[in-house]
Amino acid sequence: MSEFSSAALLAMLLSCGAAYAESIPLIQAHGTLQVPVVINGRISLNFTIDSGATDVSIPATVFATLTRSGAVSPQDFLDKRMYRLADGSGEISQRFRIRSLRVGKLEVRDVIASVGDSGGLLLLGQSFLSRLKSWSIDNERQTLLITESTTSRSPLIVPRAKDGKGAGDWVRVTAPNEPEAELFVNTASFQRNGNLRSLWEKHVFPRHTETWLGKWVNYAVDHWEFDCGEERAKLDARTDYYEDGTRWIADSKLISSTAWHRVAADTIKDGEMKLLCDWQPQEVQAKTLQ
């Protein structure tokens, strides 16, 4: 079994830095308070904050403009989902990924958005708001107060590495030049909730060695959950990046192996689970390392 390096463990322990907070002036428009939002670093639009909206919502006319300009590409398209409207009816909407969504100086990457009615509003919904540690509106000052979360990550969209070789938050946990595949974990993606742990990992394959769905695979990024109490694991999100530049994105509804299964001893999954299940909050670890 390949062992986790001490650098990987240290990086994971230090991944929780101080949260960033900001106060952003709001704009009074059409009887609502709106906040300027920059999409994919290319276009600035005023959004209405709607904590009742599941996702960020983009009207169909605006979405068409974003696709024509190249701000949103076909590779950003996800699945279609049924959304419940305020009157109780349902509507099927196309979902897509916003690679970068910036409010003030705070940037959140890989935000899920949906396409709404052409006459609808630009809504800043929970797919963005839930990624913050906290947010509130100061009505007297007409400002939006936001605090960045150091741990929150989208459960369906992969965190973006700075390149395909494990830079940024990706840390190698297998030996260099592994003949089958190199394994990296994203230390910033690690989360805990009671007995549950989760993280993103990336498998980089040597060129022309793996074929999936009839295409050569460059690398794959998976999201795994671990149950420390029952020593189980499950795969609940996946993205396959092919050598021809295309990719396949899926959440748990499109993955056939999402059921919990027991973790076999002396395997990579066993090593990951032991490390994650032994993880302690930063202040406790600080005392341990002294």
Can you say whether the dihedral through the CA atoms of 81, 79, 130, 101 is positive or negative?
A: negative
Q: Which CATH superfamily is domain 21-148 in?
A: Acid Proteases (2.40.70.10)
Question: And the tokens for 164?
Answer: 């395909």
Q: What is the pLDDT of residues 241-264, one digit of tens each?
A: 888 888 888 777 777 667 898 998
CATH code at 6-16+153-289: 2.40.128.710
Cβ partners under 8 Å of residue 93, min gap 6: 80, 81, 83, 114, 115, 116
Listed in order, the ranges of the chain carrying CATH 2.40.128.710 are: 6-16+153-289
Q: Which residue reads 């990296």 in tokens? A: 184
Name residue, tokens 């999409």. 39
pTM passes above 0.85: no
- Identity of residue 257: S
**Burial group, residue 176, by CB count within 10 angstroms (0-12, 13-18, 19+):** exposed
Beta bridge partners of 241: 219, 247
DSSP code at position 270: H
pLDDT in tens, 265-283: 888 788 888 878 876 544 3
Of 102, 101, 83, which is closest to residue 92 (Cα–Cα)?
A: 83
* pLDDT > 60? residue 16: no
Start-end of CATH 2.40.70.10 domains in the chain = 21-148
pLDDT above 70 (res 286): no
At 149, is the secondary structure helix, strand, or coil?
A: coil
